[in-house]
Structure 1
């Protein structure tokens, strides 16, 4: 889509994954210098932030350029936690920023259908052309769903963790290549 992409990762061991995913560069969001590092790469700041949950909202705003947009998918964040978040509306006003919260769970069928139609027209052609390829890190049999959840909680993965629904003993989980 012609955008410069910054991948935010939670483990500095994974800083080299940007080439695999097509990101222009990665920044460890647990770093004390996250905002500085982002602004070093994008001197004006970023124009758009997409995040799951809003726990890092203030940090993301500090990385932004004038007229930015932030889209938050699912306010619950990691683990479905619900916590209040405060932001400085003065900064929001000066920077002419826009924050949008997207929560599909509470939307009706027609709205969800319109989202799917948009994905089908805007994103699906790139998936078919293999320009967008989801990365699966580990695959567990359904009998080991607890281990899959433990790996997610440890944040010990790069990409998605899937669960095979074959209901057969398959010899355990394996790292995807």
Structure 2
């Protein structure tokens, strides 16, 4: 089969043996795969796959089940999407059947490829780790990203008013249309978020000194700051007195390296509490652009440009759409 690898900043489709199938696993013939910023880091050599994971790119995919291992309840022919630790950018992928979700019946497989990674990330970090309750106020940095788009919709669906920081006025309008109360354009007036404070939780993929200091100002008593990325830098100087005085919980969170059981429980929670909302039309995939497999470099360049609101998807097999 063909699979996409990224080495030293270069992308290449290579021929590789099809993965073997074990107990509880399923083989998916891949229709499409969602692009994520973790892929960009892996391509540059900054984010290697966890031990035992595929070396190929792709943290989420959609497709049709082609083979089922012993102990799995899935059926050959089921339309599905899957959360992966790697390998989604390939003609086939083998994954623990517990990490698979049905492709919502009202969505195409290209749209379904947008869902697993970003909705799992948003749900885990806001509703499980930060444990936000209805009515609590949420701040999302990079609100127009794939994770931000999912988080806005989830907050709206579960009764949490949400504000954002974004990179342009167009992206702010996009977030408001999705359900955000408002926000700021980071290059214009990042401190303008103080007008909407205090917040009960902030989901922060940016990090760095400026955002760390800002978060401390914006968060209220007994609030939660969930750090999921360091796009603006890995080091920051923070006033620990504010952390103490406000009783702020600072939580560092990654999903890719979590163990199989943790991911299985998370996927089960999504299936029960989130997936029905797609069929009801209360959540949507926010697919921004699709690219054919042979344009993988262009697809990743588009993601890296920071000009996309929502998700970019690579179509691996157009016959399965």
Q: Note whether the superposition's TM-score is higher than 0.5.
A: yes
- How far is 1:131 from its partner? 1.1
Report the equivalent of 1:105: 256
Report the equivalent of 1:171: none
The CA distance in 2 between the partners of 1:122 and 1:54, in whole Å, is 30
Report the equivalent of 2:187: 30
The CA distance in 2 between the partners of 1:8 and 1:69, in whole Å, is 17
2:307 corresponds to 1:152 = no
* Structure 2 unaligned spans of 5+: 1-157
The CA distance in 1 between the partners of 2:190 and 2:262, in whole Å, is 35
**Higher normalized contact order (CA 8 Å, seq sep 6+, divided by chain length):** 2
Report the equivalent of 1:139: 290
The alpha-carbon distance between structure 1 residues 125 and 58, as it changes in their structure 2 partners (threshold 3 A), is: farther
2:201 corresponds to 1:48 = yes
1:68–1:98 CA contact under 8 A, matched in 2:
yes
The CA distance in 1 between the partners of 2:293 and 2:212, in whole Å, is 35
- What is the total number of aligned residue pairs between the two structures? 160
TM-score of the pair, normalised by structure 2:
0.46
Report the equivalent of 1:174: none
- How far is 1:139 from its partner? 1.0
The CA distance in 1 between the partners of 2:305 and 2:276, in whole Å, is 34
Rg larger for: 2
The alignment partner of 2:283 has SS state of: coil
The alpha-carbon distance between structure 1 residues 102 and 153, as it changes in their structure 2 partners (threshold 3 A), is: same
The CA distance in 2 between the partners of 1:38 and 1:48, in whole Å, is 13
1:7–1:27 CA contact under 8 A, matched in 2:
yes
The CA distance in 1 between the partners of 2:247 and 2:262, in whole Å, is 28
The CA distance in 2 between the partners of 1:38 and 1:82, in whole Å, is 21
2:159 corresponds to 1:6 = no
Q: Deviations over 1:26-47 (max 9, x none)?
A: 321333x323x2221x2x4111
- How far is 1:82 from its partner? 6.8
The CA distance in 2 between the partners of 1:98 and 1:154, in whole Å, is 32
The CA distance in 2 between the partners of 1:126 and 1:116, in whole Å, is 15
The alignment partner of 2:234 has SS state of: coil
* Structure 1 unaligned spans of 5+: 169-177
- How far is 1:149 from its partner? 1.3
- How far is 1:167 from its partner? 7.0
Q: Deviations over 1:86-143 (max 9, x none)?
A: 3221111111111112212222111111111222222222222121112111111111
The CA distance in 1 between the partners of 2:253 and 2:182, in whole Å, is 26
Report the equivalent of 2:194: 39
Q: Which structure 2 residues correspond to residues 12-91 of structure 1 after superposition, within 5 A? A: 12-31=169-188, 33-35=189-191, 37-40=192-195, 42=196, 44-55=197-208, 56-73=211-228, 75=229, 77-78=230-231, 83-91=234-242
